[in-house]
Structure 1
């Protein structure tokens, strides 16, 4: 949907990748993380949140990944006032400065980040976006574009076809390699949480390296360092499961 208008991250030199980018192997460096939540699992135990109260089985986030955030490594709250940091850390997101976006970007963000109903975008900008050197518009456009790549991939298809069922490490890693190239499986971590007798997949964190202004998720993954997968299996939670 969007082509990100990225600038260089503060203090980081961007690296150009062509269409046939290959994995950097041990030399790759993860400079940021894309955190993609599975919203029905997130809403277990958080039924009071607006985005969980309004969730339905036919809404986009019932069968697609939701944007949690785009996080520069080892940086947060850049040039942010102490008062805003305190408000953020104590969960007073209503008191945080507004995020101003174009109508198109705001609409796309509301679709892929249901947490905007709770002010998540204000938290994500304050803690993480301020450390990217990007404007609010470009930061969220970048995140939306990367999520578009994920949500049109074999990874999303795998999760959508396994709602109410279990996915395994080998399933997810094979889907990453299929969509984003051999070795992509080594740049993703799957997070799970116990919910009674069920272990639910709650989130994927995907390692990203530097890239050009129009770099795809595939190219950003290719320039990242390796990580440990973590959770070896978990259930893809359906909406409304208690």
Structure 2
């Protein structure tokens, strides 16, 4: 009996580890002279209802998805006079030839399929080529870290606040006020909201952009993880709609 208890305990621990991975630190081995990361999370029903939308195989379960994890412009490019807007447009192509698609294991690929918007061409490939490859990251660690941050947000009070209001019109100020209250961070532009007009001509939330300290991402979503973004990119109006599936 004791032996079976030990076996069951080990299986449970293994299962918990698989569901709640603790990826290694995301440390750049090239071009690491950047100041902050932007964690871009998608409000999936809004994101998929704007522009070209998402492909028909898009899962319709998660409200919060993952767009990407973006390093800010390296200081070496700033010193060369490269405008930040160009960095936003071109990313890693400014630092060398484009990389090939990332090589990921099946479990991680399945996780990303559940949380990354399904677009054509693939958003996963795009994010790696534009935002990951040039920093010398292991793609498995890059995407494991980004997906772990998304999972932490899903379990946060901020997610509960938004989820309770899915299908409702909210105000810009109430969302940011709850962010400040729940995280303890009052840094300007630590969170920036992104909105677009959906196919029904309504202004909807599409993304949440968090400005993170690269050395303290393990503290996300609590206060120590945030920095103030030097750039104003919040474009949501005073009121907008939180679409639901």
User: Would you call these one fold, judging by a TM-score over 0.5?
Assistant: yes
Which runs of 5 or more residues in structure 2 are unaligned? 1-19, 74-86
Residue 32 of structure 1 is matched in structure 2 by: 37
Is the 2:101–2:128 contact (alpha carbons within 8 Å) kept by the matching residues of 1?
A: no
Larger Rg computed on CA atoms:
2
1:126 equivalent among 126, 129, 133: 129
Task: Provide the aligned length of Structure 1 versus Structure 2.
Answer: 205
Q: CA RMSD in A?
A: 2.9
- In the TM superposition, what is the alpha-carbon distance from 1:159 to its structure 2 partner? 2.1
Is the 1:192–1:201 contact (alpha carbons within 8 Å) kept by the matching residues of 2?
A: yes
- In the TM superposition, what is the alpha-carbon distance from 1:208 to its structure 2 partner? 0.9
Structure 1 residues 215 and 157, CA, compared in 2 at 3 Å: closer, same or farther? closer
Query: Superposition pairs for residues 175-190 of structure 1, below 5 Å?
Result: 175-183=178-186, 186-190=189-193
1:8 equivalent among 21, 27, 32: 27
- In the TM superposition, what is the alpha-carbon distance from 1:225 to its structure 2 partner? 4.3
TM-score normalised by the chain length of structure 1: 0.71
Is the 2:190–2:210 contact (alpha carbons within 8 Å) kept by the matching residues of 1?
A: yes
Residue 112 of structure 2 is matched in structure 1 by: 109
Q: Distance in 2 between matches of 1:144 and 1:206?
A: 14
Q: Distance in 1 between matches of 2:217 and 2:170?
A: 34
Q: Distance in 2 between matches of 1:163 and 1:214?
A: 28
Q: Distance in 2 between matches of 1:197 and 1:7?
A: 40
- Secondary structure at the residue paired with 2:103? coil
TM-score normalised by the chain length of structure 2: 0.70
- In the TM superposition, what is the alpha-carbon distance from 1:177 to its structure 2 partner? 2.4
Residue 203 of structure 2 is matched in structure 1 by: 199
Structure 1 residues 35 and 214, CA, compared in 2 at 3 Å: closer, same or farther? closer
- In the TM superposition, what is the alpha-carbon distance from 1:154 to its structure 2 partner? 2.1
Is the 1:184–1:221 contact (alpha carbons within 8 Å) kept by the matching residues of 2?
A: no
- Secondary structure at the residue paired with 1:77? helix
Which runs of 5 or more residues in structure 1 are unaligned? 14-28, 85-95
- In the TM superposition, what is the alpha-carbon distance from 1:35 to its structure 2 partner? 0.9
Q: Which runs of 4+ in 1 moved over 6 A?
A: none
Structure 1 residues 7 and 42, CA, compared in 2 at 3 Å: closer, same or farther? closer
Is the 1:188–1:227 contact (alpha carbons within 8 Å) kept by the matching residues of 2?
A: no
Query: Superposition pairs for residues 58-137 of structure 1, below 5 Å?
Result: 59-61=60-62, 64-74=63-73, 76-77=91-92, 80-81=96-97, 84=98, 97-115=100-118, 118-137=121-140
2:143 equivalent among 140, 154, 169: 140
Query: Superposition pairs for residues 206-217 of structure 1, below 5 Å?
Result: 206-212=210-216, 214-217=218-221
Q: Distance in 1 between matches of 2:32 and 2:50?
A: 39
Q: Which has the higher contact order (CA 8 A, sep 6+)?
A: 1
Residue 41 of structure 1 is matched in structure 2 by: 46
Is the 1:193–1:201 contact (alpha carbons within 8 Å) kept by the matching residues of 2?
A: yes
